[in-house]
Structure 1
Amino acid sequence: MIVVISGLIFYFVIRRIRKQIDEMAEVLEDIKNGNGNRRILSETHEIVAPLAYEMNDIITSYENRLSAFRETEENNRQLMTSLSHDVRTPLTTLIGYLDAAQKGIVTGRDKDDYIETARRKAHDLKDYIDVLFDWFKLNSDEFAITMNQVEAVELTRDILIDWIPIFEDKQIDYSIDIPEQPFRVNLDSDAYLRILNNLIQNVISHSHADKIGISLSKQNDKIAILVRDNGIGIGKEDLKHIFERLYKCDKGRSEKGSGLGLSIAYQLVEKMHGSITAESEQGRGTVFQVLFPLAD
Structure 2
Amino acid sequence: MSLENNNTSLRQQQAEHLASSLPTRRPRLLRLRLITWYGGLVAVSLLFFGVLVFLLTSQSLSNSVDASLRAEAGAAQANIRAELLRHQRLHAESDWPTPLSLSVIDTHSLSKDTLGITVKVFDQAHHLQYASKNEPLSITPTAVMYQHALQNAGDPQPYTVSGQNKESLRILVEPIHKPQVAPGGQPGPVIGMLLVARSLSPEEATKTQLLFLLCTTGALVLITALGIGWGITTNVLHPLSDMVKTARDIANESRGVHVGNLHQRVQRPKGHDEMVEVVDTFNEMLAALEKAATAQYRFIADASHELRAPLTTIQGNLAFLQRHSDELPAEERKTMLLDAHSETLRLARLVDELLLLARADVSADTITTSPPVEHEQKSTVAAPRGSLREQPVELDHSLLQLVRQLRGRLAMDQSSFQLKVSHIEPVRVYGNEENLRRIMLILLDNALKYAPAKENGHGGIITVSLERKGQEALLQVRDNGIGIEPGDLPHIFERFYRADRARSREGTGLGLAIAYTLVEQLNGRITAESQPGEGSTFYVWLPLAV
Tell me the distance in 2 between the aligned counterparts of 1:112 and 1:90.
18
Secondary structure, in 3 states, of the residue corresponding to 1:247? coil
Within 5 Å, which residues of 2 pair with 1:199-210?
199-205=443-449, 210=459
Secondary structure, in 3 states, of the residue corresponding to 2:357? helix
Alignment equivalent of 1:234, drawn from 452, 471, 484: 484
Tell me the distance in 2 between the aligned counterparts of 1:180 and 1:108.
53
Q: Could you tell me which residue of structure 1 aligns to residue 465 of structure 2?
A: 216
Within 5 Å, which residues of 2 pair with 1:97-108?
97-100=317-320, 103-108=325-330
Q: Could you tell me which residue of structure 1 aligns to residue 244 of structure 2?
A: 32
Q: Displacement of 1:23 after TM fit?
A: 3.1
Q: Displacement of 1:98 after TM fit?
A: 4.3
Q: Displacement of 1:248 after TM fit?
A: 3.0
Name the aligned partner's letter for residue 196 of structure 1: M
Alignment equivalent of 1:274, drawn from 491, 504, 524: 524
Q: Could you tell me which residue of structure 2 aligns to residue 153 of structure 1?
A: 396
Secondary structure, in 3 states, of the residue corresponding to 1:37? coil
Q: Displacement of 1:114 after TM fit?
A: 2.8
Within 5 Å, which residues of 2 pair with 1:103-118?
103-118=325-340
Q: Could you tell me which residue of structure 1 aligns to residue 145 of structure 2?
A: none
Which protein, 1 or 2, shows the higher relative CO under an 8 Å CA cutoff with sep ≥ 6? 1
Tell me the distance in 1 between the aligned counterparts of 2:423 and 2:531.
28
Does structure 2 retain, via aligned residues, the 8 Å contact 1:94–1:121? yes
Tell me the distance in 2 between the aligned counterparts of 1:208 and 1:289.
21
Kindly tell me the number of residue pairs found equivalent between the two proteins. Answer: 286
Q: Could you tell me which residue of structure 2 aligns to residue 288 of structure 1?
A: 538
Name the aligned partner's letter for residue 19 of structure 1: G
Does structure 2 retain, via aligned residues, the 8 Å contact 1:172–1:211? yes
Q: Displacement of 1:283 after TM fit?
A: 1.9
CA RMSD for the aligned pairs? 3.6
Q: Displacement of 1:78 after TM fit?
A: 0.9
Tell me the distance in 1 between the aligned counterparts of 2:270 and 2:469.
53
Alignment equivalent of 2:288, drawn from 68, 77, 81: 68
Does structure 2 retain, via aligned residues, the 8 Å contact 1:94–1:118? yes
Q: Displacement of 1:74 after TM fit?
A: 1.5
Within 5 Å, which residues of 2 pair with 1:55-204?
55-100=275-320, 103-140=325-362, 144-164=387-407, 167=410, 168-169=412-413, 171-177=415-421, 182-204=426-448
Does structure 2 retain, via aligned residues, the 8 Å contact 1:216–1:223? no
| Cα deviations by residue, 1:10-67 (Å, 9 ceiling, x for unpaired) | 765443222112334554333322274245667x9xxxxxxxx444433432332233
Does structure 1 retain, via aligned residues, the 8 Å contact 2:417–2:460? yes
Tell me the distance in 1 between the aligned counterparts of 2:321 and 2:466.
50
Tell me the distance in 2 between the aligned counterparts of 1:87 and 1:207.
27
Secondary structure, in 3 states, of the residue corresponding to 1:146? coil
Does structure 1 retain, via aligned residues, the 8 Å contact 2:526–2:539? yes
Name the aligned partner's letter for residue 93 of structure 1: T
Name the aligned partner's letter for residue 477 of structure 2: V
| Cα deviations by residue, 1:183-207 (Å, 9 ceiling, x for unpaired) | 3222332321221232233334555
Q: Displacement of 1:9 after TM fit?
A: 6.7
Tell me the distance in 2 between the aligned counterparts of 1:256 and 1:65.
37
| Cα deviations by residue, 1:185-240 (Å, 9 ceiling, x for unpaired) | 22332321221232233334555655242423324444433323332211122223
Tell me the distance in 1 between the aligned counterparts of 2:233 and 2:277.
17
Cα 1:142–1:235 shift into 2, 3 Å: closer
**Higher mean C-alpha deviation, range 33-42 or range 72-81:** 33-42
TM-score (norm 2): 0.45
Does structure 1 retain, via aligned residues, the 8 Å contact 2:389–2:430? no
Secondary structure, in 3 states, of the residue corresponding to 2:530? strand
Does structure 2 retain, via aligned residues, the 8 Å contact 1:232–1:252? no
Cα 1:65–1:181 shift into 2, 3 Å: closer
Name the aligned partner's letter for residue 232 of structure 2: Q
Does structure 1 retain, via aligned residues, the 8 Å contact 2:495–2:513? yes
Cα 1:108–1:273 shift into 2, 3 Å: same
Secondary structure, in 3 states, of the residue corresponding to 2:487? helix
Cα 1:14–1:120 shift into 2, 3 Å: same
Tell me the distance in 1 between the aligned counterparts of 2:440 and 2:327.
42
Does structure 2 retain, via aligned residues, the 8 Å contact 1:187–1:272? yes
Name the aligned partner's letter for residue 396 of structure 2: V
Does structure 1 retain, via aligned residues, the 8 Å contact 2:451–2:461? no
Tell me the distance in 1 between the aligned counterparts of 2:245 and 2:505.
42
Cα 1:162–1:125 shift into 2, 3 Å: farther
| Cα deviations by residue, 1:62-121 (Å, 9 ceiling, x for unpaired) | 332233222212211111111121111122112333455562453333333333333332
Tell me the distance in 2 between the aligned counterparts of 1:290 and 1:141.
21
Secondary structure, in 3 states, of the residue corresponding to 2:309? helix
Tell me the distance in 1 between the aligned counterparts of 2:490 and 2:529.
10
Q: Could you tell me which residue of structure 2 aligns to residue 50 of structure 1?
A: none
Q: Which runs of 5+ in 2 are unaligned?
A: 1-48, 51-212, 247-263, 366-386, 454-458
Cα 1:30–1:213 shift into 2, 3 Å: closer
Structure (1 or 2) with the larger CA radius of gyration:
2
Q: Could you tell me which residue of structure 1 aligns to residue 475 of structure 2?
A: 225
Tell me the distance in 2 between the aligned counterparts of 1:128 and 1:197.
16
